[in-house]
Amino acid sequence: MPRLAGQQPEYLQNQLRAFMERRRTNPVMFNVAHVLSPSMVTALAAYFKDLDPKPLRGAPVGLAAAGKKIYQEGIAGTDVPPCASCHGSEARGQGAFPRLAGQLHDYVLNKLVNWSRERGQDPARPDTSAIMEPIAHGLTEQQIAAVAAYLSYLE
């Protein structure tokens, strides 16, 4: 499960709608999201934005330096840009781009490794996270683990 504290409201609203409309696959979240009214979605997004998440850490510390480099610089010679270009230099997100700072290592790892299985279920109506698909596919599992480790230590 992701940490939602401090999450960008626009991103959270977009993802809840994607679950409701089955453009993003997760049976638990569909069951939660489909009963929410538009005003409830707005209220939840505002509530989570105002929470101050502290990192839980616990990820492999030895991977964090490599993850920081990928996060800040991308991967030369590939289609993997710096994560910071969309998620911000401190990984706090902006607008439709989610906050990643303090996110759980295993959550980030699993979401990026399984990107195509959980997102883009309706190619005619992609959710706003579709921009990440080629980036997720451009990373090795070791690179994903490194970025996830780095993010888990950020405030």
Note the pLDDT of residue 121.
64
pLDDT tens for the 155 residues of the chain, in order:
899 999 999 999 999 998 998 888 888 999 999 999 999 999 999 999 999 888 888 899 999 999 999 999 999 999 899 999 999 999 999 999 999 999 999 999 999 998 877 776 677 777 777 889 889 999 999 999 999 999 999 99
Q: Is residue 16 part of a domain?
A: yes
d(CA 151, CA 153): 5
Q: Is residue 4 part of a domain?
A: no
d(CA 38, CA 24): 18
Number of domains the chain is built from? 1
Residue 38 belongs to a domain with what CATH number? 1.10.760.10
Q: Which of 45, 150, 41 minimizes the C-alpha distance to 100?
A: 150
Note the pLDDT of residue 120.
65
Q: Is residue 1 part of a domain?
A: no
β-partners of residue 75 are 80
β-partners of residue 73 are none
Note the pLDDT of residue 130.
81
Task: Name the residue range of residue 118's domain.
Answer: 9-152
Q: Is residue 102 part of a domain?
A: yes
d(CA 25, CA 95): 22
